[in-house]
Structure 1
Amino acid sequence: MRWLKGLPGTHSLFDDASANKCTFTFNRMTLCLTLVILVAAAAVGCTAKGAATEPSAEAPAVEEVPVPLPEPEPEPEPEPAPQSEESQAWTARWLEERPIFVMMDNHSGARPQSGLKEALFVYEMLAEGNITRYMAVFTGTEDYEVGPIRSARPYFINRALEYDGIYVHVGGSPQAFADLVNLKVADVDGLSAGKNVFWRRSHKKIPHNMYSTLEAIRRDANRRKYRTEASFEVPVYASAPLQLEGEAAASVRFVYREGSSGYASGYKYDEASGLYQRYVNGKIHVDELDDVPIQAANVIVQTVRAKTVDNEGRLVMEDVGSGKGWLISMGTRIPVKWEKADRRAQTVYKMEDGTPIELMPGVTWIQVIPQWLEPVWNEEA
């Protein structure tokens, strides 16, 4: 019957069965394919659904960094006022050479003293008891006689150290001699220098008659190979008349000890010159060099604690630390504060607002007074 297959009009049972078999096979494949598609679709749907419902991870928070503001430009410091010719001249005097600090006698038998009117600074402090002594500061190359010269005290040494000076004296207290050695002070002592450096004059009695000259002192300092340069801060001199806002200071007096041979220093203001005339025991203080009255452009008053330390009446003047005082100039006084960090440090004088003081060009006297001494202001003539 194989040959009948495919002829038109012919049929066989075999052919029907094969057809049915093929149809069944096709249907099974179709069903399987459909099931695969459905399963795949279900899987995709589950995955999409899971992706939709799964919570997403939160994005990290971005920390906001503040943008720094530009710093303001610092204001330029005001330029210092140009110095006047007079203030320049007094500044230059400090820089001419290493300052020379000369201890001067103030005993009644030693007055008047020689050279005080030529000094830049003059200090007056107690020596022992209520007896005062001067220390004058000189620079420059001019030569003149200075004296009478007396002995050293520790707190006078402190002032010479402030300005890296050469300290001139004749002898001294035991503590002063120890300080001169321990502090390696550049000193010229009349007890060890020759007669070509110190000499006694006959118009006054011993011990109030020892003199020298600045040239002789410089010569001996060079022999000792002391430095000629110094390191310190020069006092500031005003370029115009000081306009101090304070109380009137037409006069002032400091009474260390009463009496005709006592120790009372005073100043009276002269408006015409803008200077203070200096007085000792009520009389005009003159210079022995030429009998010219001694004047001051500035007076600094510094109050310190003082106490007696031996049977000779020698003192400790507590000038390291801080305290109060006054600046007197141009007929006015203002309160000031002073500071000194150590024995070599310079004493700094400031106004109450902390501004360092300025000085009028001219000689400055510094009255260092004990805590018990009260200045007498504006006495009537």
Structure 2
Amino acid sequence: MQALSRRTALVTLAGAAGAIATGCAVTSPEQTNPRASVTAPVSAAPTPTPTPTPTVDPRPLAPLTGRPVADAASLAHAAVAVKVSDVQSAHPQYGLNEADIVFAEPNGISYIRLCAVFHSRFAESVGPVRSIRPVDVPLLSPMKPVFGNTAAANWVMRYVASFSKHLENLYSFKAGVHGTGAYTTFPHRARVHSVCCHPDKLRQLATQNTAPPARPYLPFAVGEELPSTQTAGTPARSISVPWGPGDTWNTSYHYDATSRQYLRNEPWGRHVLADGQRVRTDNVIVIRARWGMDKIFEGTGAPDPVVHIINATGTFFYAHQGRCVTGTWTKGAVDELFEFTTDDGSPLKVAPGRTFIELPQHDAKVKLTA
């Protein structure tokens, strides 16, 4: 009995060993589970969406408008600034709607004189041309233009000459300018309002200032940036700028939604040019600055309006497409640009386009109408 049991045990062990050796006898319960034989898929990490690359316009920007131009060669020349009378008897005027920038300057109590600056395009005729005012020096020096005018008082001419490295003064009766066709006369006008300038011809007479403005004159919004009026500000469909005591002599701008521009008005009515077109602009900047009648240089002649914007600061209004922001301006040396900071502390961003810049008294009560 014991011998049989021992033999049976040996046979049993031998069979088990053979089964293990051939790999077909013993299986675990897990191996018989069909689910256990399927490999679970590995989930792939989601592919991140690439951040769009901002579109960069490769075209060069005009330094006085901030607008792109197709051909850089069209900007490879100096800007031309022309003084234009703005008293009522001088109207209608010529060429203002082709200017990149127009400055409106004090010319005594309740009088204004304009300075129209051309660079990205030139008007055929500009006028009536009048004389220089001292504030032209710090306004124009940063752009180093050719300067068209009918001269000025002796002391003002000497003052301008002291900054000749910034301004090339080609006044109407200067030797080498007179008789070239850069200036002509309006035969139907009174003599004081009869001088007409042809800025592209005047530009070609320049021997010193022949290069374009080296930098943008205003802090234009570029690329993906938005004008400050699109991110802040208040409605301003109308802007009134007082030049005389009280509200007796105001220029104003009214927003035209169709053209998306401001239309300018003189104290006596709509500002209309000789070709019947309303004077219009994309941007309006009002720079309030202290000014008074003074003589600030040696020489003969009566006092002229002197606007204090060199190494100075003040407040400004900027309007575009029916909205306005306010803030503080500063300017350093005569050839340095204005810097503008809005009331919320951010740098001003100006929309590309044409700009009128008015310079009334430092305490002028500028009015905005929503």
Partner of 1:318: 308
Percent of residue pairs bearing the same amino acid type: 19
Deviations 1:154-195 (A, max 9, x none): 111211102121221111133321122211121111121213
Indicate the SS of the match to 2:204.
helix
Determine if contact 2:284/2:319 at 8 Å carries over to the other structure.
yes
Greater relative CO (CA pairs within 8 A, separation 6+): 2
Partner of 1:245: 232
TM-score by structure 2 length?
Answer: 0.72
Partner of 2:298: none
C-alpha spacing 1:333/1:229, structure 2 compared with 1 (3 Å): closer
Partner residue of 1:357 out of 324, 334, 348: 348
| Larger fraction in helix | 1
Letter of the structure 1 residue corresponding to residue 136 of structure 2 = F
Q: CA deviation at 1:205?
A: 0.8
Partner residue of 2:168 out of 186, 190, 197: 186
Indicate the SS of the match to 2:337.
coil
Partner of 2:67: 91
Equivalent-residue separation in structure 1 for 2:276 and 2:349 (angstroms): 30
Structure 1 residue ranges without an equivalent (≥5): 1-78
Letter of the structure 1 residue corresponding to residue 309 of structure 2 = D
CA RMSD of aligned residues (A): 2.9
C-alpha spacing 1:84/1:362, structure 2 compared with 1 (3 Å): farther
Q: CA deviation at 1:306?
A: 1.0
Partner of 1:130: 110
Q: CA deviation at 1:326?
A: 0.9
Which piece of structure 1 moves more, 174-183 or 364-373? 174-183
Equivalent-residue separation in structure 1 for 2:268 and 2:115 (angstroms): 21
Q: CA deviation at 1:215?
A: 2.5
Partner residue of 1:254 out of 216, 241, 247: 241
Letter of the structure 2 residue corresponding to residue 256 of structure 1 = W
Partner of 1:103: 83
1:1-381 map, 5 Å: 82=56, 90-92=66-68, 95-140=75-120, 142=122, 144-184=124-164, 185-192=167-174, 193-195=177-179, 196-221=181-206, 224-235=207-218, 236-237=220-221, 242-257=229-244, 263-288=249-274, 290-309=275-294, 312=302, 314-320=304-310, 321-378=312-369
Q: How many residues align?
A: 296
Deviations 1:311-369 (A, max 9, x none): 95522211121111111112111112111111111112222344332222321110111
Letter of the structure 1 residue corresponding to residue 259 of structure 2 = S
C-alpha spacing 1:244/1:271, structure 2 compared with 1 (3 Å): farther
Determine if contact 1:132/1:263 at 8 Å carries over to the other structure.
no
C-alpha spacing 1:376/1:213, structure 2 compared with 1 (3 Å): same
Equivalent-residue separation in structure 1 for 2:67 and 2:149 (angstroms): 26
Equivalent-residue separation in structure 2 for 1:368 and 1:137 (angstroms): 16
Letter of the structure 1 residue corresponding to residue 241 of structure 2 = F
TM-score by structure 1 length?
Answer: 0.70
Letter of the structure 1 residue corresponding to residue 278 of structure 2 = P
* Stretches (4+) displaced over 3 A: 79-96, 140-143, 237-242, 310-313
Determine if contact 1:162/1:347 at 8 Å carries over to the other structure.
no
